[in-house]
Amino acid sequence: FHCEDCFGFESLCQSYCLAAHKHHPLHNIKKWNGKFFEHVMLKQLCLVVQVGHDDMLCYCPEHGHTNFLVIDINGIHPVSINFCGCEQWISHCQQLLRCAWYPSTVHNPRTACTRRVLDHFLQLTWSSKVSAYEYYHMLKCLMDNTGINIPKVC
C-alpha cells in the first residue's frame, strides 16, 4: 500500500497503513495489484472513524449511514463512521462539527464537508467565479477521472 497524501513514497502493509491513517481517514491510498497501483478506499480496508470521543474507544458506538461520504479538498471519500452513543450523548451533527466535518443535514447526516474544502471553494469562487457544479465535477475527477466509479453524494 502507498499513501499519496503522506510524505515520502514508502510501501506499507495493510495493518500499518490502517494504524497510520487512524487520524487521517481522508488520505488517498493506492494498492499494488501486481501490475500497477490502483486506488483503494480506507473504508475497503476496514478503517472505521469514531467521532464523539477524544481518541478513546466508545463502548456504545452507533453506526453511521452505510454510504456516509466526506467531501474534502482531495476528493469524495466513502467513510465507515461510528458516532458516540454513551451517556453524555450529543447529536450526530454536533459530533461531526466537533471534528470539523460540516454535515449536509441536521438529522441523520449521510454527507459531510471538511472546513478545508469549504474554504477552498469559497476562495476559488471569489477569485475565479468557479460554480458549485464545476467544483464538484473537479472533485469527482480527482477520485476517478474515467467517470466509471464516481461516489454518489446524497
Q: Please, which residues have CB within 8 angstroms of residue 125's CB and are 6 or more apart in sequence?
A: 131, 135
Average pLDDT over residues 83-101: 88
| pLDDT band for position 86 (cuts 50, 70, 90) | confident
Condensed to tens digits (0 to 9), the pLDDT of residues 113-133 reads 999 999 999 999 999 999 999
Q: Please, which residues have CB within 8 angstroms of residue 22's CB and are 6 or more apart in sequence?
A: 47
Average pLDDT over residues 125-146: 87
Q: What's the pTM?
A: 0.85
Q: Is the pLDDT of residue 26 over 90?
A: yes
